[in-house]
């Protein structure tokens, strides 16, 4: 188990159509959304990624601003699941490489219910032929749903892959991706 002095992030759990998801916030915004991890795995993985201590939102050391951000994220994601919201108004603490930031920014431009292939997204970010690299960036998206990597599909119109959780198996991940697309009224062929 990692050991750090000061809290760097706080997390909460919220219900999702397939079980529970985790949301984490820092002083800068939402730093993680995980769609399938067990809590200890999520906390350990996030602590390693951000090099700091991760506490439950209820912990007395967690600043009230972080709890407010987590509450807003939980509320907005719940509204999105219910079909009452099409976009998010949340600060994002996106700690990724320049390439991943470029790709995730491109994915964030996809509108509710819209899909694009990995190759199309590669062209949109100025790197035609980089579909596999786009897929890698999608798989590393630390804030799925908020940055809608589920809207990026294979060039043949099938789901492709999905990295919404580092802890779910491929079949479970693809079932989650299909469900997220269905929330937006989008169906993708098998």
**Residues identified as active-site:** 149
Tokens 């972080």 belong to 66
Beta strands of 43-140 (E only): which ranges? 53-56, 116-117
Give the separation between CA 165 and CA 3, rounded to whole angstroms.
Answer: 24
Helix (H, G, I), strand (E, B) or coil at 4: coil
For the chain, the distance separating the N- and C-terminal CA atoms, rounded to the nearest angstrom, is: 41
Task: Check residue 122 and give left, alpha or beta (phi > 0: left; psi -120 to 50: alpha).
Answer: alpha
Helix (H, G, I), strand (E, B) or coil at 145: coil
Torsion of CA 23, 25, 29, 30, to 10 degrees: -20
């Amino acid at each position: 188990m990692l050991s750090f002095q000061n809290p760097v992030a706080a997390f909460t759990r919220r219900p999702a159509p397939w079980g529970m998801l985790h949301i984490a916030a820092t002083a800068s915004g939402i730093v993680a959304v995980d769609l399938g991890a067990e809590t200890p795995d999520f906390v350990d993985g996030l602590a390693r990624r951000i090099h700091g201590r991760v506490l439950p939102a209820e912990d007395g050391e967690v600043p009230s601003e972080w709890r407010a951000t987590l509450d807003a994220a939980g509320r907005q994601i719940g509204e999105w699941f219910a079909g009452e919201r099409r976009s998010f108004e949340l600060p994002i603490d996106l700690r990724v490489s320049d390439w991943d930031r470029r790709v995730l920014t491109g994915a964030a431009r996809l509108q509710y219910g819209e899909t694009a292939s990995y190759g199309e997204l590669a062209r949109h970010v100025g790197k035609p032929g980089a579909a596999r690299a786009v897929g890698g960036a999608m798989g590393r998206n630390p804030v799925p749903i908020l940055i809608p990597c589920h809207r990026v599909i294979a060039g043949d119109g099938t789901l492709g892959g999905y990295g919404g959780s580092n802890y779910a198996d491929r079949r479970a991940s693809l079932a989650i991706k299909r469900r997220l697309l269905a929330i937006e009224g989008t169906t993708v062929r098998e």
